[in-house]
Amino acid sequence: MISSMYNSIQHFNEFGVKKIENEIKNFMEGNKNIVGLILALQKILFELGRDIITEVLENMDEYLRNSGVRKKKWEIVRKDKNRILTSFGIVTYERTYFKPKMGGKRHHLVDDMVGIKPHEKMSEDVIINAVDEAAESSYRKAGEKASYMNEISKQAVMDKIHNLDFTTTETKKYKKKDIKTLYIEADEDHVHLQQKGINKSKYNIAMPKIVYVHEGIDAEKSSKSRKRLKNVKYFGGMYENTEKLWLEAADYIDKQYNMNYVEKIYISGDGASWIRQGVKWIEKSKFVLDGYHLKKCIITATAHLNNEIIRQELKDAVDWPDREEVKKVFKEILSLTENKTKKGAVKRAEQYILNNWDGIEIRAEEGIGIIGCSTEGHVSHIFSSRLSSRPKGWSKIGVGKMSKLLIYKGNGGKVYDLVMAQKMKREKEEKEQIQDELIKEARSIANRYNDTWDIRPTAIVRGEKTGLYNEIRAIMGRI
């Protein structure tokens, strides 16, 4: 039986509270800088967090040492220390090494029960912090912010990103909605890869793709300066075969929408072959050339002339749309262009418009212009700010995993859910039957004999419904 109060709490009441009182006194009597007070309190409270974790783990280990269930099947080998990095900092605790009497692998059973794997140096909360920050800034900064007072290397952060498993995430299925018109927009980012050796190619880039489905402009959430899309869902990453990407989008549409009610689905993009391929996979879909790339093309063809009249003529011919008039305007532009390089750019612009004429016609005939196309904005929002807006040397696997992470977060996914789902999947695959039997029997014994739990923290024995009680109960209940 331990003392009448949980030891770490008792110690905190005797010494930690005094430290807090002194910090508050110094704050009130000093320059009243709130940052200093916050950091001081954080240090004290994080120390308490480490002490509680240590005591909980050591009490659980002591229970296992004294358990009659354990004595039947497991022998004590030795007791040793372990260190693990947590959000509170490094936690050091003692635990027992057991071996099964019937033969088999030896285990630190308390580590198994709380999900600490052999040779594991950091807890999942540190990984969650690192992954969350890595999606916003850099591996280095993520390593600095992963844990209080202790940082991890950018290599360690990168390894955690590379090991993320997105197959554990699934799209929730709701009652199918009746929507007449759906919109799909698609584009890709251009990310510079690490370049090794003497022959560094300027074409050494990765192109993560993004496809998103939505129901048009959300009038309630939009403003004059910023348009917001209604019920947007992102898909994307690095795909060797884009058929898989389109199948993901098609599967989502089939699960979320009543296709008997849907009349039209517009696929908008820059006309790349992989984007046009979506029409083959998405039922009732048509390709539309997006307004951003169309406008960019018109500017490219006319900017060097500094002639607003001819630019407007080209725009009017495209908006009408009149294919022959477009050719006529381009002929005039070329006659006014002397520079050979500029002539090449004008010819490419003309070819681009004519090659995507079907997408231009559908846009004009069916009024798609009122919806607009926001792919560039979404590529920037989801991908570019992290992957390509600042010079970085990515590996191909790094681009693939990070783009998946950014898509996951863009859909409102929580890194906590991602990491913990991956952990649960791994634990399920690695479970050993003999260990499961021990846990099951330990629970049975605990339920039949209340005095078996006398070695638990007193907060549980006394049954006080405090925050500490609930937390410890949740942990100890796993035995």
Q: What is the DSSP string of 72-94?
A: HHEEEEEEEEEEEEETTEEEEEE
- Cβ-contact 211, 235 below 8 angstroms: yes
HEC sequence for 192-216: EECCCCCCCCCCCEECCEEEEEECC
Q: How much is the pLDDT for 292?
A: 87
Q: How much is the pLDDT for 135?
A: 93
Dist. CA 213–CA 410, nearest whole Å: 13
pTM of the model: 0.79
pLDDT confidence band for 150 (50 / 70 / 90)? confident
Q: How much is the pLDDT for 159?
A: 94
- Cβ-contact 368, 362 below 8 angstroms: yes
What is the CA angle 278-283-289, rounded to 5? Answer: 45
pLDDT for 454 beyond 90:
no
Average pLDDT over residues 324-330: 97
Q: How much is the pLDDT for 464?
A: 43
Percent share of the chain, pLDDT over 90: 50
pLDDT for 462 beyond 90:
no
| DSSP structure class, residue 234 | E
Structure-block tokens of residue 259 = 């296709």
pLDDT confidence band for 378 (50 / 70 / 90)? low
Instruction: Report the chain's mean pLDDT, rounded to a whole number.
Output: 83
Single-letter amino acid code for the residue at 478: R
Structure-block tokens of residue 237 = 């990453």
Q: How much is the pLDDT for 432?
A: 53
Each residue's pLDDT tens digit, 227-262: 788 999 999 999 989 999 999 999 999 999 999 999
Each residue's pLDDT tens digit, 184-218: 999 999 898 877 654 555 558 899 999 999 999 88
Closest C-alpha among 104, 57, 97 to residue 75:
97
Which of 102-106, 108-112, 280-284, 422-426 has the largest mean confidence? 280-284
Distances (CA, A) of 75 to 17, 99, 440: 42, 5, 18
Dist. CA 349–CA 442, nearest whole Å: 74
pLDDT for 453 beyond 80:
no
Structure-block tokens of residue 319 = 């908006």
pLDDT for 476 beyond 70:
no
Q: How much is the pLDDT for 450?
A: 39
- Cβ-contact 465, 459 below 8 angstroms: no
Q: How much is the pLDDT for 438?
A: 56
Q: How much is the pLDDT for 391?
A: 58
pLDDT confidence band for 171 (50 / 70 / 90)? low
210 beta partners: 187, 236
Q: How much is the pLDDT for 371?
A: 59
Dist. CA 40–CA 55, nearest whole Å: 23
- Cβ-contact 146, 387 below 8 angstroms: no
Q: How much is the pLDDT for 431?
A: 62
205 beta partners: 192
pLDDT for 297 beyond 90:
yes
Q: Is the bond preceding 321 in cis, omega lying within 30 degrees of 0? A: yes
Dihedral (C-alpha) 10, 14, 16, 17: value to the nearest 10 degrees?
110
Burial-class residue 223 by CB neighbours within 10 Å (0-12, 13-18, 19+): exposed
pLDDT confidence band for 473 (50 / 70 / 90)? very low
pLDDT for 90 beyond 80:
yes
Q: How much is the pLDDT for 451?
A: 41
Which of 6-10, 191-195, 435-439, 452-456 has the largest mean confidence? 191-195
C-alpha radius of gyration, the chain, whole number: 31
Single-letter amino acid code for the residue at 365: E
